[in-house]
A and B are shown apart, each in its own frame.
Chain A
Amino acid sequence: MVWLPALVAALPLGSSAVAAFSVRTRCAALAAVAGAAGSLVLAVVVATLAIAGPPIASAGAFVYVDSLGGFFLVTVAVVVLLASLGSSSYLAAEERSGQLSARRVRIYFGAFGLFAASMLAAVETANLGLLFILVEAATLASVVLVPLEGRTEGLEAGWRYVIISSLGITVALVGALFLFYSASALPGGAEAHLAWPFLLAHAHQLAPTALRLGFLLGVVGYGTKVGLAPMHTWLPDAHAEAPAPASAMLSGALLNVGMYAIIRLLAIANRGLGTQYGGRTMLIFGFLSVLVGVVFMIRRRDFKRLFAYSSVEHMGIIAVGLGFGGVLGIYGALLHSLNHSLGKTILFLSGGTVALAYGSRRTDRLGGVVGTMPWTGALLFGAALAILGAPPFGLFISEFTIVRAGLVGDQPWLVALLLALLAVAFLAFTRTVGGMLLGAPRGVHREPYHGAREHLLAVVPSAVALVALLGLGLWIPSWLNSLLTQSVALVR
C-alpha cells in the first residue's frame, strides 16, 4: 500500500512539471488545482486506512502514515487545495496588471508544486533523516516564492528566511544525530535507529542525556520552522512579502509540518524521559511565542504582518496545549492546528484580494472594505472573529479544550496568563482589522479580478473554509474524532 501515500506527494510534483513545460500560465494554474484536488482525495483515503488498520509503512519508516501522520496529511492537503484555488485567481490578476511576468507565474506554480509535494511527503515519513530532508526541501521551494513579486523587501525577506531556516533545520539535523546516537547501543541497523516507531518502542532504553539533547535540539530546530519564539524572526517578513496564496501555504501548512516533527519528537521524549520534561519545554517555548506574537500585534499597521504575528501566537497556543499534555491538551493542540490552518488561509487569501484591490497592505490607508468589497470583506470579518477564538467557530472549541487541559493539570496561573494574553490579542487584532473593514471608506479601490470565474475562485475557497470552521465549532465528525483520539494515544 506504500504507493498510495507516494502518489499523494507525486501529484503536486506532476503539476510542477506541467508548470515547467506549459506555454500558457492558465495550464499551470489548472494543473496545480488538479494536483491539489487529487492529493486531498487520496489523503483522505490514506487517513481513513490509517484509522482502520495498522500504519501504512515501509522498511525503515521511510514511508509511514499512522493516524497522526494522516491527520496532518489531510490538514496540509486541505490548505494546499485552498491555496492553489486562490493562486489561480491571484496570479492571473497580478499577471494582467503587469506586476508579474508570465515567466514568473510559471516559476510560481513550479515552486508551488514542489513546495506542496515536499510538505505532503514530510508528514508521510517517520524517518527522522528523511523528515529533515523533506522539511528542508519544502523550505527551499517556498523560498523561491517569497521574493517573486520583485520588491527589494521581498528579496531581503527571502534571504532572511532561507538563512535562518537553514540554520535552524541544521540544528534539527544535529538533534536527529543525537537521537540516532542515543539508540546506538540497541540492536537493529542504522535504518532502525532513525525510524520513529523503533525509537518510540525503545524509548526507555535510549541513553537519556543524548535523548534530552536530541529532543531539545529538535525542538529548537523545527521550532524555527514553526515560528516559535525566539526563533520566529524570519516569519513576519516572509509571510508579509510572499504572494498572498503563498503566505497562506506558509502559515497554514508549513508551520504545521514543523509542528508535526516536534510532536513526533515529543512522543519519544514523553515516553523516554517522562511527560514533565517535554511538557515543560513546550510550555516555555509556547508562552514565549504567545507573548511575542501578542506584543508585536499591538499597533501593527501592515495587515499581513499582523496575520503573521498572529500565527506566531497561535503556534504558541498549540505548544502550550502540548505542554499541558494529557488527553485534553494534546487533543486540543491538534484540533487547534487544523482550525488555525483554515482560519489563517482565509485571512491570507482574502487579505490578498484586498491588497490587490487597494494596492496597499497598510491598515491606516484602508477603510470600509466591507462596503466596497462585500464578499471579501465579510469573509475577512468572519475569519478574523474565528481566529480570535470567538464562538461558535472551531478555534473557540480548541482553545477552550487547551484551557481545560491546563485546569485539569492544576496549572491555574498559567491558564490565567494565557487568557490574559489572548484578551490583549483580541483587542490589538480587532482595533487594526476592525478599522480597516468597518471604518469610514478610505483608499482607492480598483476591482482586481475580471470575469465570474476569477471572482468565484477568489471567494468560494475561503467561503467553504469559513463554513468548515463554523462546522468544526459546532460538531466534530466521528471520522476526525477517531483520527484525533488515536493520534493522542500515540503522543501521550
Chain B
Amino acid sequence: MQELTLASPGGAILGLDAVLILLSALACLGSKLFDRYLTYYALQSVLLAVAAATAAYLERDAALWVLAGLTLALKGWAIPTAARHWLVQRLDLKRDSGTTAGLSLTLVMGTALCAFAYLAVSPERLAHGLLAASVVPISTAVVLLGALAMVVRRHRVAQLIGWLIMENGVFLGAITLTASFPLIVEVGIFFDLLAGFLIMLAMTTGVAERVSPLPAGRSGQDS
C-alpha cells in the first residue's frame, strides 16, 4: 500500500472513499437527529468496507477480505440496526438537545480539527502524491471528529456513536497506511468493539437493571 499513488485507479478510489468517510463524519457532527446519526454511521461503515475491499483487491490479501466482510456485516448492518431498534425506537429518541455547544460552533470546531489534523500529521517519509500521505491526515481528522462528538454531546447514545466513529477513523488509517494489522489483532479489535457496544447498549437502555430486579426504591433508572 505504501507505493500506491493517488493517480493510480486503486489509489483514486481509496482517496475518494476516504474523503467521503470524512464527509460522513462531518455530516454526523452537523446533524441533530438520532436517526441521522445512525444513518451517517452506517454509511461511513459501508464506505470503510469499500476501502478495505479495494485494499484487499490491490494487495490480494485474504485477511483484508475478511476485514471488509466483517466491517460490512457488523458496522454497516448489525450495529446500526441494533442501535436503531434498541435505542432510537425503544427509547423514542428524536432530537438531540443535550449538547454543550451549538451546532454552528461544533461545526467550526470540527473544521478546525480537520485543519489541525492536516497541519500536525504530515507523514514525513512519504512523498506528496502518495495515497497514504493524503489519507493519514484524513483518518486522524475522523478520529478527532468522533472525539469531538463525544465531548460536546451529553446524551449517551450520541457519545456511543462518537466512539464508533473514532474507531472507524483508526481503521481507515490502518487500512491505507499499512494494508492491515495482523489479522488476529484486527479480529480482536472487532471483538472489543462489539463487546463495548453491547455493554454501552445495556447501560443505556437499563437492561442491566432489568437483568435482576432490585428491591423497590433501590433501583436507579437513569435517562
Q: A residues engaging B (CB < 8 A)?
A: 60, 62, 98, 101, 103-104, 107, 127, 129-130, 132-133, 136-137, 140, 143-144, 147, 150-156, 158-159, 162-163, 166-167, 170-171, 173-174, 177, 180-181, 184-185, 190-191, 193-194, 207, 209-210, 213
Tell me if B177 and A181 are in contact (CB < 8 A): yes
Can you list 18 residue pairs at the A/B interface with Cβ under 8 Å?
A129-B189, A130-B185, A133-B188, A136-B196, A150-B209, A151-B220, A153-B220, A163-B163, A166-B196, A167-B150, A170-B170, A171-B147, A173-B170, A177-B173, A184-B2, A184-B177, A185-B125, A194-B182
A194 to B200 alpha-carbon distance, docked (Å): 29
Task: Tell me whether B12 is interfacial, beta carbon within 8 Å.
Answer: no
Nearest residue (CB) in A for B2 is A184
Contact with A60, one of B123, B159, B182, B200 (Cβ below 8 angstroms): B182
Contact present for A166 and B189 (CB under 8 Å): no
Please, which residues of chain A bring their CB within 8 A of the CB of B199?
Answer: 140, 143-144, 162
Q: State which of B140, B179, B220 has its C-beta within 8 Å of the C-beta of A155.
A: B220
The complex places the Cα of A150 from the Cα of B179 at a distance, in Å, of: 45
B57 at the A/B interface (Cβ < 8 Å)? Answer: no
Q: Which of B188, B208, B219 contacts A130 (CB 8 A)?
A: B188
Chain B residues whose CB sits within 8 angstroms of the CB of A104 once the complex forms:
211-212
Q: Which residues of A contact B188 (CB under 8 A)?
A: 129-130, 133
Q: For B177, what are the chain A residues with a Cβ–Cβ distance below 8 Å? A: 177, 180-181, 184
For window 173-221 of B, CB contacts with A under 8 Å fall at 173-174, 177-182, 184-185, 188-189, 191-192, 195-196, 199-200, 203, 208-209, 211-212, 214-215, 218-221
The count of chain B contact residues (Cβ–Cβ below 8 Å) is 49
A-side contacts of B125, CB under 8 Å = 184-185, 207, 210
A190 close to B189 (CB less than 8 A): no
Please determine whether B182 and A190 come into contact, CB atoms closer than 8 angstroms.
Answer: yes
Tell me the bound Cα distance from A209 to B125 in angstroms. Answer: 10
| A155 with B208, Cβ < 8 A, contacts A137-B192, A170-B143, A184-B177 known | yes
Q: How far is the CA of A181 from the CA of B2 in the complex (A)?
A: 10
B residues apposed to A, CB below 8 Å: 2, 121-125, 136, 140, 143, 147, 150, 156, 159-160, 163, 166-167, 169-170, 173-174, 177-182, 184-185, 188-189, 191-192, 195-196, 199-200, 203, 208-209, 211-212, 214-215, 218-222
Q: Which residues of B contact A152 (CB under 8 A)?
A: 220-222
Q: Which residues does chain A contribute within 8 Å of B214, judged by CB atoms?
A: 101, 150
Q: Are B166 and A194 in contact (CB under 8 A)?
A: no
- Provide the bound-state CA to CA distance between A226 and B166, in Å: 21
Q: How far is the CA of A75 from the CA of B7 in the complex (A)?
A: 54
Task: Verify B181–A156 contact, CB threshold 8 A.
Answer: no
B220 touches A190 (CB 8 A): no
A-B interface, 3 closest residue pairs, ranked by CB to CB distance from nearest? A152-B220, A129-B185, A133-B188
Docked pose: A306 CA to B181 CA in angstroms: 41
A103-B211 contact, Cβ under 8 Å, with A133-B188, A180-B178, A184-B177: yes
Taken together as a complex, chains A and B put the C-alpha atoms of A209 and B136 apart, in Å, by 14
Q: Least Cβ distance of A222 to chain B in Å?
A: 15
Across-interface contacts of B160 in A (CB, < 8 A): 163
Please give the distance in Å from A204's CB to the nearest CB on chain B.
15
Asked whether B181 lies within 8 Å of A194 as measured between CB atoms, the reply is yes
Give A218 Cβ to nearest chain B Cβ, in Å: 13
B154: shortest Cβ distance to chain A, in Å? Answer: 11
Q: How far is the CB of B173 from chain A (nearest CB, A)?
A: 5
Other 17 A-B pairs with CB < 8 A, given A107-B212, A166-B196, A180-B177: A101-B212, A101-B214, A130-B184, A136-B196, A137-B195, A140-B192, A155-B222, A158-B203, A159-B203, A163-B163, A163-B200, A170-B143, A177-B170, A177-B177, A180-B178, A190-B179, A193-B178
Provide the residues of chain A in CB contact with B173, threshold 8 Å.
Answer: 174, 177
CA of A190 to CA of B55, assembled, Å: 15
Alpha-carbon distance between A63 and B215 when the two chains are bound, in angstroms: 46
Q: Which residues of A contact B167 (CB under 8 A)?
A: 170
Give chain B residues whose Cβ lies under 8 Å from the Cβ of A173.
170, 189
Tell which of B2, B179, B218 has the most Cβ of chain A within 10 Å.
B218
A325: shortest Cβ distance to chain B, in Å? 27
B200 touches A162 (CB 8 A): yes
Contacts of B182 in A (CB 8 A): 60, 129, 190-191, 194
Interface centre among A60, A129, A171, A173 (most CB of B within 10 A): A173
Partner of B212, one of A62, A103, A132, A140: A103
Distance, CA A234 to CA B179, complexed state (A): 35
Shortest Cβ distance from A147 into B: residue = B208
- When distances are taken between beta carbons in the complex, the residues of chain B under 8 Å from A184 are 2, 125, 177-178
Chain A residues whose C-beta falls within 8 Å of the C-beta of B203 in the assembled complex: 143, 147, 155, 158-159, 162
Residues of chain B with a CB closer than 8 A to A213's CB: 121
Report which of A129, A144, A174 forms a contact with B181, defined as CB distance below 8 A.
A129
> Given A155-B203, A174-B173, is A181 in contact with B178 using a C-beta cutoff of 8 Å?
yes
Closest to A132 in B: B189
With A140-B195, A158-B203 in contact, is A174–B147 under 8 Å at CB? Answer: no
CB proximity of A174 to chain B, nearest CB, Å: 6
